[in-house]
Amino acid sequence: MRKPHLIFLITISGLFFACNKKNAESDLLYKIASIDDLHSLAKNTVNDSTLVHISAARYIIDNNERLPDTLLIENLFRKGYYYKMIEEFDSAMFYFHKTIDLVKGPNDRKRNRVYFRNTWETDEDNNNLANGINAAQKFIKISRNKDNSGDLVYAYNFLERVHINLGDFEKSLYYNSKTLEAARKSTNIDMFVVTANSKAETLYLRLGKKKEAFTLLDSLNTIECGKDAKRQLYRTYGVLNYFEGNYKETAKYFKNVLKLSKEIPLYHNFNVLESYNNLTDLYLEIEEYGAAEKYLDSTKAIINANSFPAYVTKYNEYRFILNYRTKDKEEELLTEYRNLIKENNRQHQKKIDEELFALQSANEKEKIAIAAKNESELKNVKLIALLGFSGLLMLVGYLLYRQRRYRFQKQEIQMQQRLLRVQMNPHFTFNTLSVIQNQIEENQEGALDYLLRFSRLLRLILENSIHNYVQIENELELLRKYMDLQLLRFPDKFEYNISLENFDEEELLFIPPMLIQPFVENSIEHGFLGILCKGQIDITLKLQNKFIHCTIEDNGVGLDTTNKGYKNSVSMKLISKFIYKATKQKVNILDKKNIDAIKSGVLVEFLIPYKFSEDD
């Protein structure tokens, strides 16, 4: 008689768990949709609210472990792309490289090409060629599948361009052949034509193989391709004929280039300006000044604030040359000369103004310092004259004060040196090398990744250690790399969260290096020993009037008698001494059981001094 009741209870329980699972899945899908919406808003607008959308998406990502990694990758890319759009290229490169660091092989997402291509092109534009080469080579490494041929075209083409800039023409031809091979496999006719066209330029201009260059161009001219590919082909024809002295052929091809440039919406202003300048240069060369003036007037009509500066400078140069040679408009010649000087100086003016302002500020400070010094000396003379022996006592007191101050500074420097020596726990270093050694035998790829992360962490530590103050963004990056490396040693042992209140990580705030890491290390090495649950480290930084208030909280064993390592740490004593001298406040280390009997772990609170520049 009990069986029907049992079946009923099992059915109800099954429905209950199914509903919970369905609700969890719905919540996950809702969060993914919310992040996608925020990314769309960040993509469609580049203004002050863009970073707000990106930060909101990052908050959702950081607080939901079940979300796919692709959302974090896209969020980092969107932040890098924002900085690229506002021309803060150092920040753009930083976030682009953080993006591609998270992309693992095999390359099975078309979106990956967008990430890597923006990375190496931004590196190229800012002359960071070595970083760009590394990005392209990593992309090639993870794109071995035959379906990736269309993506590889762009990586090989970039490497070809870079090696031309580096003067290694043999290597550029090698990557040119790789580009052609990938273009054939992907049936990308336009890219095939553009790449072969680039090879013709290298053959003629770099290697002196003129006949081979024109033969290659003639064969390409028989291929049906898009307008932009044909535009680049005609431009090369024009340039090579110009060097050959075939000016009539040069004019024909340059006019075809201009016609195609006007028909292509993308980069319209850029390509049309280039075409006008090329035709002007040609007609100045053959002294047909009427035609040169016609194209100069056409150039002037389309120049705007967003025009490529180098082409604007060329226009001014050509205008000056024309007026100088014709000598029929002296006033216009003078005007164009002034425009040329103005254009050449425009890009440097801001820097000059900043240097002048800094010089003026320095002069004002120097005047104030001299006046203060003179006043002080005058007072000292009066005191010596009037008080005699009292003046002598003051001098002795001043010497004693200076000697005491010198001794204090010496102790502070020695303390900082001792701090630097204990910043990287030797046990952690030896354990890391041991893990790498074991993984080399068992998992070489994993060992390589581990060693790479470890080397980056060491580099950051060494870079930060040579400065008294480092930017808070760099310090938090070091902290995250350290905890991520510990997670490689102890998978799933703990998780962490870093929260910033009333300030952003990118703000120009500078703090002493390596004050937080030793407390985190104690939580990992001592606090989580023997606990049955997953460890949790929460770090909160809050900007106050003169200091940053830092709290570090874990759910470990606390400060019981078995956890002596936490209390007796040498680094804890040194850091506590440094913080007290800098802030006049002690480091508070509390056992959470003393606050709430049902809680476990350690709560650390202290103040961190900060400055607005490392030399402030």
Peptide bond into 106 cis (omega under 30): yes
Listed range (41-50, 154-163, 270-279) with the worst mean pLDDT: 41-50
Residue 17 predicted with pLDDT over 80: no
Computed on alpha carbons and rounded to an integer, the radius of gyration of the chain in Å comes to: 33
Residue 89 predicted with pLDDT over 60: yes
Residue 579 predicted with pLDDT over 90: no
Q: Contact at 8 Å (CB) between 451 and 436? A: yes
Confidence tier at 413 by pLDDT (50, 70, 90): very low
Give percent of the chain above pLDDT 70. 79
pLDDT, average across residues 262-285: 86
pLDDT, average across residues 9-27: 57
Give the domain ranges of the chain: 423-609
Long-range CB contact pairs, 229-235, < 8 A, 24+: 229/189, 229/190, 229/191, 229/193, 229/194, 229/197, 230/193, 230/260, 231/257, 231/260, 231/261, 231/264, 231/271, 232/193, 232/194, 232/197, 233/193, 233/197, 234/260, 235/278
Residue 350 predicted with pLDDT over 50: no
Residue 27 predicted with pLDDT over 70: yes
- Joined together, the tokens standing for residue 67 give 């979300």
Q: Per residue in 481-511, pLDDT tens?
A: 889 888 887 888 899 999 999 988 888 899 9
Residue 572 predicted with pLDDT over 50: yes
Confidence tier at 425 by pLDDT (50, 70, 90): low
Question: Given this model, what pLDDT does residue 80 score?
Answer: 92
Domain formed by 423-609, architecture: 2-Layer Sandwich (3.30)
Between 412 and 449, name the one with better pLDDT.
449
Question: Given this model, what pLDDT does residue 282 score?
Answer: 93
pTM score above 0.75: no
pLDDT, average across residues 441-466: 78
Question: Given this model, what pLDDT does residue 358 score?
Answer: 44
Residue 155 predicted with pLDDT over 80: yes
Q: Contact at 8 Å (CB) between 251 and 233? A: no
Q: Per residue in 300-349, pLDDT tens?
A: 898 887 777 888 888 888 888 888 888 766 566 566 656 656 655 554 55
Q: Per residue in 65-74, pLDDT tens?
A: 888 888 999 9
The helix-helix angle for 444-465 and 426-442 (nearest 10°) equals 160
Q: Per residue in 177-205, pLDDT tens?
A: 888 888 888 888 888 888 888 888 888 98
Q: Which residues contact 457 (CB under 8 A, 6 or more apart)?
A: 478, 481, 482, 485
Residue 376 predicted with pLDDT over 90: no
Question: Given this model, what pLDDT does residue 352 score?
Answer: 53
- Joined together, the tokens standing for residue 396 give 């002795």
Average pLDDT, the chain: 80
**Partners of 499 in the β-ladder:** 540
What's the longest Cα–Cα distance across the chain?
117
Question: Given this model, what pLDDT does residue 2 score?
Answer: 46
pLDDT, average across residues 47-56: 84
Q: What whole-number distance in Å separates Cα of residue 278 and Cα of residue 236?
A: 12
Confidence tier at 260 by pLDDT (50, 70, 90): very high
Q: Per residue in 522-569, pLDDT tens?
A: 888 888 887 888 999 999 999 988 899 999 999 988 887 555 555 556
Q: What whole-number distance in Å separates Cα of residue 262 and Cα of residue 272?
A: 6
Residues present in the chain in total: 616
Give percent of the chain above pLDDT 90. 25
Question: Given this model, what pLDDT does residue 151 score?
Answer: 82
Between 422 and 220, name the one with better pLDDT.
220
Between 105 and 471, name the one with better pLDDT.
471
Q: Where is mean pLDDT largest: 137-141, 429-433, 484-488, 595-599? A: 137-141
At residue 373's C-alpha, the angle toward residues 367 and 376, to 5°, is: 140
**Partners of 120 in the β-ladder:** none
